[in-house]
Amino acid sequence: MLAGIDIIRLNALTAGLMKRGLEVDIIAPVKKVSLTAAGVPVYPLSYLQEEAHYDVLKTCYHFSIELIGAFKGPVVSRIVRVVDEKLPERDMAWRERLIKCQEMIRARSSVVVLNNLDNAGRWRKLYGKPASISLIPTGCPFILPRKGKNPYDHDERAILFLGSLASPRMVAMINDLAAGLKNIARLHHIGQSKSHLYGDGRSWELSPLVVRHGEMCENSVWNYIRHARAGLAIAPGPDSFDNDLSKIYNYLRGGLQVLSEERIVNNDLIRATRWGEVFRYGNVGDAVAKAVMILERRFQDRERSVMSYMARGHAWENRVNQYLTLFKRLQAEAQNICPC
């Protein structure tokens, strides 16, 4: 099954909550009932209105708040970035609807889940403190698939960019970096191109110097991560609150050093693990120089300790525990009982 980070996150969290004893369903704009790969039921939106047995409803991203209908119980709303009248610039085409959704979240949700302090500060500045804020970042697997055969060309120095191309700027930076590394390393992209959804709506194409793999199943993605020489992180835009990149968790969990641009909030993980390099914002020359530093650095013992650090501190199970505590508290508050 092809899977982007949104589906991977959904499967990991729902399966984890089920293992902890919760009854979990997914409500989505689908026509018929189905099961996810993790065995979680997926029901049409009508099921939410017909059934009144849900204790808590969690929404994903801005627009899903529009789907909750007449549900009366506690709502937990997770969003990635807080949008205002000017920023992020790349959300120009969607700004009015995104802000409308935030107003709905402010009015209806019991808790707003955000990835980082940057966005928590923006939320409080825009809306005050009527709703509680929980910081629950993204995660990574505790157990990885078995490492398979090297999918790259023999002795290729592969630098992997994992995930969606979510702004025209990202495409331009990757193209320039691929040209700068032409005789040094080869860039590979796994994921979708969504650049046409941002900015002025034009579709931006990757350079022929970048090897494009499209989407692939999660196990295959991990094999590409495990055999690459570095993972690449490019900032979608100039504002740190807009640059929370889940790919950095996966790179480090797979033992990859990370070549990351300034103004990305997850660079704190690179600094904490000392496993990668941060290059100056918009400076392709500095990116090439830092890439060379990474490619010449091979410390297997450090690689294993970084992988262990990520598994212990940032596995999906950690995030499941945070959500479990949150859901139990909301259920107890709704029923006016002690959550102990």
Instruction: Give all domains of the chain, ordered by start, each with its CATH number.
Output: 5-139+315-335 (3.40.50.2000), 158-312 (3.40.50.2000)
pLDDT value of residue 195: 79
For residue range 132-151, list pLDDT tens digits in order. Answer: 999 999 999 999 999 999 99
CB 259 within 8 A of CB 230: yes
CA pair distance 105, 135, nearest whole angstrom: 16
Mean predicted confidence (pLDDT) in 83-111: 96
Contact partners, residue 159, CB within 8 Å, separation at least 6: 181, 185, 186, 187, 188, 228, 229, 230, 231, 232, 259, 291
**Mode of pairing for the β-strands spanning 34-35 and 41-43:** antiparallel
% of the chain exceeding 70 in pLDDT: 95
What is residue 188's three-state secondary structure?
Answer: strand
Mean predicted confidence (pLDDT) in 181-194: 94
Count H helices, E strands: the chain? Answer: 11, 13
More confident: 48 or 230: 230
Contact partners, residue 277, CB within 8 Å, separation at least 6: 257, 258, 259, 260, 270, 290, 291, 293, 294
Q: Is 335 exposed, middle or buried (0-12, 13-18, 19+ CB in 10 A)?
A: exposed
Q: Is the pLDDT of residue 277 over 60?
A: yes
For residue range 85-97, list pLDDT tens digits in order. Answer: 999 999 999 999 9
Q: Is the pLDDT of residue 53 over 80?
A: no
CA pair distance 7, 15, nearest whole angstrom: 12
Backbone angles phi and psi of 104, in degrees to 5: -65, -40
Q: Is the pLDDT of residue 198 over 60?
A: yes
% of the chain exceeding 90 in pLDDT: 81
pLDDT value of residue 70: 87
CA pair distance 335, 338, nearest whole angstrom: 9
Tokens of 126: 């825009």
Mean predicted confidence (pLDDT) in 96-119: 97
Q: Facing residues of 78 across strands?
A: 60, 113
Tokens of 50: 């017909």
Alpha helices in 207-299 (DSSP H): 218-227, 247-253, 267-273, 284-295
